[in-house]
Chains A and B, each alone.
Chain A
Amino acid sequence: MSAAIRVMVVDDHPMWREGVSRDLAAAGYDVVATSGEGRQAVRIAAAARPDVVILDLQLPDVSGVEVINGLQTEVPGVRVLMLSASGEQQDVLDAMKAGATGYLLKSAGLTDFLDAVSRTAAGDTVFTPGLAGLVLGEFRRLAVTEPADPRADAPKLTERETEVLRLVAKGLSYRQIAERLVLSHRTVQNHVQNTLGKLQLHNRVELTRYALQNGLAPLGEDPAP
């Protein structure tokens, strides 16, 4: 079906890396590279140019956020599906804010996994109920901690977006949500995607502001690559 989609697997566990690669190949994906370390993964990705990277959140050398930043610089437009074995909520949230487009627990079944990969490749966001809970929590945290700062203009969710995220967090499928709210499946998907987009945009704005305030990237100059 999707023979042309190039996938890279980054995981420090060899057995897992091989297993996942085999499953992906069997499902018709082109596994272009594998790596067990974050820095090496970024270097290899620059040459292998994958469409999708399956990334283990906990790598031995660098954090998930650093790998995601590196991948985005080297391969603009790359989609990152994160996997994690332990439920390190803050790490998951940070990685999503840094630009990952999907998240799945390692214990997810093979069909769920392959479904997540194909959705990631198609440009969709892959949300678990756990991730929806984290994202909602983050928006609420921002609303509580940042309204005092007028420049910060904390991102806000529309009522609809909140409604959709709450239903995702309660374990409803997009189809069930679409039925309940009388929306199209596509609209539900868009709402979910928008919430993540707002969070990632806010994250970039914050990083830029931080860089400007600390003189890391003076106005009018391109930040160094």
Chain B
Amino acid sequence: MADARDSGLQAPLWRAIAIYRLAALAYAAFLVVSNVGAYVRPMLAWPTLALMAAWTVVTTYAYADPARRRPPLLVADLLVTIAVLTASIWVVGRSGLEAGLPTLAVAWHVAPVICWAVAGGRRGGIAAALAMGATDLIVRAHYDQAAFTGAVLMLLAAIAVGNLVRIAEVGQQRLERAIELEATTRERERLARDIHDSVLQVLALVKRRGAGLDGEAGELARLAGEQEAALRSLVAARQVSDPVADELDLMALLEPYASPVVTVSGPAGAVRLPARIAHELRAAVAAAVDNVEKHCVPGTKVYLFVEDEPDEVIVTVRDDGCGIEPDRLAQAEAQGRLGVVQSIRGRVADLGGRVRIISAPGEGTEVEMVVRRVPIS
């Protein structure tokens, strides 16, 4: 059911229904005036018409308030209209209706059906259309094609309006989300600018001035450097996901690893990969970086390098640590002792890619992961 706030589309829609009801009332009044001579109880036609006019005014005001568009009003609307329609049996008379005279509520009786469709969607519209259509058929006691066509048209209109409202609501929600997102992005950019102009500069300066100092001052400089790098990657963070396809930007996933000891390099633009591949590569890179931190002396530099080839993506993790003797590497791997290397190889192999490890004593270790853009399944 409609919620209590007026979304952008709802207000004009309810206004349109009010105008329809008013126009239909005028048409019904015109028909009453021209046919009143043929009615069985013409004196009752005027109070009925007055009731219709009053109800038109009541609903116009009631539906204008979002808080009142609730089941009680909708049910009342349907019942009042059905009552007016049914009154035709006594006012117009059985024989008149059978002879083809219109009901008192002709056209006017469609308004509540549309209201139900707007407030309750397709299902609400169909329910109201069936109730109203059945009443109309019974009152007119006409079971020919024209009568059925009227009922079917009403049903179709209810379905169409119900659908339209749902689509419009979804569109409205998307628009609101987009506006919200844009506002956050703009706010983020403003923050990034401010941080760039102030905090980052000072932290970089502190790091630089204190870099050569011993003891606490040197420690402070080192901390400032770490914070500078963390903050920089935070404010420069790219948008990770691609809203259109199920793809992620690998650069955006890897940039958070940048720190005073970890350098991230690659193309300026996004490196798009299917989400699964991107996450697996990120995990493999994380394992490699952790491994350096665990096994090499503190402060060992790590370089992450991403290459975006037309049909494959190459990610290299190199450290300038102590390195490993080639035969020891093979030996350790053969004995299954290189847990991290195994896990990296496993992850990349699952993606149909390959891993190359180059290491020499004093030369550091280089782990090169090559993954095809489209995985071999």
Contacts and interface: CB of A to CB of B under 8 A. Distances in A.
Interface of A: 12-13, 15-16, 19, 58, 85-90, 92-93, 106-110, 113, 128-134, 136-138, 140-141, 144, 166, 169-172, 176
B211 A137 contact: no
Contacts of B94: none
A87 B258 contact: yes
Nearest to A58: B196
Nearest to B271: A137
A223 B196 CA distance: 37
Contact of A107 (B208, B303, B308, B320): B208
B196 A86 contact: yes
Contact of B308 (A92, A108, A131, A140): A140
Given A170-B316, A170-B366, A136 B197 contact: no
Interface in B209-238: 209, 211-212, 225, 228-229, 232-233, 235-236
A172 B360 CA distance: 14
Contacts of B348: none
Given A19-B205, A129-B305, 12 more contacts: A16-B205, A86-B196, A87-B232, A89-B267, A106-B200, A107-B204, A107-B228, A107-B260, A129-B265, A133-B265, A138-B268, A144-B310
Contacts of A144: 310
A19 B208 contact: yes
B298 interface: no
Question: Most B CB atoms within 10 A — which of A85, A137, A166?
Answer: A85
A106 B204 contact: yes
Interface string B300-315: 0101011111100000
A208 to B, nearest CB: 23
A133 B232 contact: no
A89 B254 CA distance: 14
Contacts of B272: none
B305 A87 contact: no
B72 interface: no
27 contacts: A12-B197, A15-B201, A15-B202, A15-B205, A16-B201, A85-B200, A86-B200, A87-B258, A109-B208, A129-B265, A130-B263, A130-B264, A130-B265, A133-B266, A133-B305, A137-B269, A138-B267, A138-B268, A140-B307, A140-B309, A141-B267, A169-B265, A170-B318, A170-B366, A171-B301, A171-B318, A172-B318
A41 B124 CA distance: 70
Interface of A is mostly: helix
A87 B200 CA distance: 12
Interface of B: 192, 196-197, 200-202, 204-205, 207-209, 211-212, 225, 228-229, 232-233, 235-236, 255, 258, 260, 263-269, 301, 303, 305-310, 316, 318, 320, 363, 366
B45 to A, nearest CB: 77
Contact of A110 (B208, B235, B260, B263): B208
A93 B268 CA distance: 8
B261 to A, nearest CB: 11
A133 B267 contact: yes
Contacts of B269: 90, 137, 141
Contacts of B268: 89-90, 92-93, 134, 137-138
Contacts of A108: 208
A120 to B, nearest CB: 18
B326 to A, nearest CB: 15
A107 B258 CA distance: 12
B302 to A, nearest CB: 8
Contacts of B263: 128-130, 171
Nearest to A11: B201
A202 B372 CA distance: 30
4 closest cross-chain pairs (CB), A and B: A137-B267, A133-B265, A171-B303, A89-B268
Contacts of B308: 137, 140
A133 to B, nearest CB: 3
A169 B303 contact: yes
Given A87-B236, A136-B267, A140-B308, A129 B303 contact: yes
B264 A109 contact: no
B236 A107 contact: no
A45 to B, nearest CB: 22
B303 A19 contact: no
Nearest to B267: A137
Given A132-B265, A137-B269, A16 B204 contact: yes
A207 B267 CA distance: 22
A136 B192 CA distance: 28
B254 to A, nearest CB: 11
A109 B206 CA distance: 11
A130 to B, nearest CB: 4
Contacts of A169: 265, 303, 305
